[in-house]
Structure 1
Amino acid sequence: MFNLIKRDLILQKRQLLIYIPCILFFIIMDKNPALTFLFASIIIPFNTYYYDEKAETNILLNSLPYTRKEIIASRYLGAIVYMGLSIVVTSTALFVFNKPFTITEIAIGSGLFLLFAAFTFPLFYIFKSGHISTVIIISFILLAGVGPHIVSFLAKHLTAITDFIASLSVLALYTGAAAVIVILYAASWGVTMVIYQRKAF
């Protein structure tokens, strides 16, 4: 399974040359660090799906001595590994450029990435290859731009929910959010595995 994760990095070695400049662009444009961490975490996992979709790699993977469970596990575990590497690279870049950031911003960026991955990873196996990667990337860009405004709107109009959240302690809020994210990510992993087991290549 480790070899499958390693394979993704090897296949993307040229794209990785664009990886650092993209992160630096976000930093130079003084974007919110949480958004920068989110963007950095998304690049490698979603580029892997894009590459596999384009090259029909699943046919090759299923001819190798790996079970379908291992292939899916490498996707979900790989995403967590790449997220960790992205946090290290982004934190280093922010430090070099003397841009302040907090553990909370890292947690928010990581949490949003895991949520986005949980909802989109199964889509790559539900829909036919072709344009799903483009649709997901465009959706991410739109959500990144419109999302904060939607949250502000809901916070103003759904006061009962806002008051309940405000009444929670910081520890309870973060613990609850982390639990929800872990459950959704695990559920997504399970759903994707079932879909992939039944898919014909």
Structure 2
Amino acid sequence: MKALIWKDLQLLKYVNFIIGIVGILFTFVIMSQEVFFISQLAYAFLAFVFPYVASMFLSQHESKSQGDVVVNSLPVKRREIVKARYYTLGVYSLGINILMFVLSTLIGVFMSDSFRGSPSSIFTIFLAIAFTLIFFSLYLPFQYYSQGKVQIFNGIFYLLLMLIPNILRRYGQKIMTTKFFNVLVSLDFVILSFVLLLFSLLLYALSFGISTIIYKNKEF
């Protein structure tokens, strides 16, 4: 399984380079945002987008190179193949959040005169990881079921993700005056983050079981 995880990470090395540069630039941009809720929302959005882009790249690479056929020709159990992908994306999500937390904290400590925004908080990390794992819990079984259909989904979903920042810029002020937004802000994010993180971990484990069953019964 370690070899499979390493294979995924090697495939992502160029993607990681691009994500690293984009992540650093956007962290500086977010640290110039003085509204706490907006800055934390931006951190969470990036922390979701980056693992998704990595997953989309891996999916496209496997589809083009028939990676599943190659891997299944090796003496590796299919359960281990699925487990490696779940580990890769889980650790990737955690790593992205930690790096953004460290970078934003360093900017806040050493460049506070120029960047007066708030660094990523531990509870933002919990929420970002929770939403990412919940998404992958639904996405990965679908991917193992049909690579072709998931490619169509990726194209549509990626466009929607790119539209979200523009929508928030245009309608952000109106959204912040809605009753739903006020209720959302009034929630106890400490409790909510812990509950969602626990739920996401349980759902991720359940999703792994479902994906394993799907993949074991798949013909290549």
Question: Normalized against structure 2, the TM-score is what?
Answer: 0.72
Give the match's secondary structure for 1:14: helix
| Residue identity matched to 2:49 | F
Runs (5+) with no aligned partner, structure 1: none
Deviates more, 1:26-35 or 1:185-194: 26-35
How many residues are aligned here? 195
Give the match's secondary structure for 1:39: helix
Alpha-carbon shift at residue 132 of structure 1 (Å):
4.0
The verdict on how the C-alpha distance between 1:142 and 1:44 changes in structure 2, with shifts beyond 3 A counting, is same
Deviates more, 1:97-106 or 1:22-31: 22-31
Structure 1: distance between partners of 2:147 and 2:53: 22
Residue pair 2:44, 2:125 contacting (<8 A) in 1 also: yes
| Residue identity matched to 1:46 | M
In the other structure, the counterpart of 1:108 is: 127
| Residue identity matched to 1:138 | L
1:25-51 CA-partner distances (Å, limit 9, x unpaired): 432442522223223333333322222
Question: Normalized against structure 1, the TM-score is what?
Answer: 0.78
Residue pair 1:40, 1:87 contacting (<8 A) in 2 also: no
1:81-100 aligned within 5 A: 81-98=91-108, 100=119
| Residue identity matched to 1:49 | S
1:41-60 aligned within 5 A: 41-60=51-70
In the other structure, the counterpart of 2:80 is: 70
| Residue identity matched to 2:132 | F
Residue pair 1:49, 1:133 contacting (<8 A) in 2 also: no
1:1-201 aligned within 5 A: 1-30=1-30, 32-98=42-108, 100-129=119-148, 130-141=151-162, 156=179, 172-201=191-220
| Residue identity matched to 2:195 | G
Identity of paired residues, percent?
A: 22
Alpha-carbon shift at residue 156 of structure 1 (Å):
4.0
Runs (5+) with no aligned partner, structure 2: 31-38, 109-116
Q: Runs of 4+ in structure 1 displaced over 6 angstroms?
A: 143-147
Considering only aligned residues, what root-mean-square deviation do their CA atoms show, in Å?
A: 3.3
Alpha-carbon shift at residue 170 of structure 1 (Å):
5.9
1:87-111 CA-partner distances (Å, limit 9, x unpaired): 2322233234335221111111111
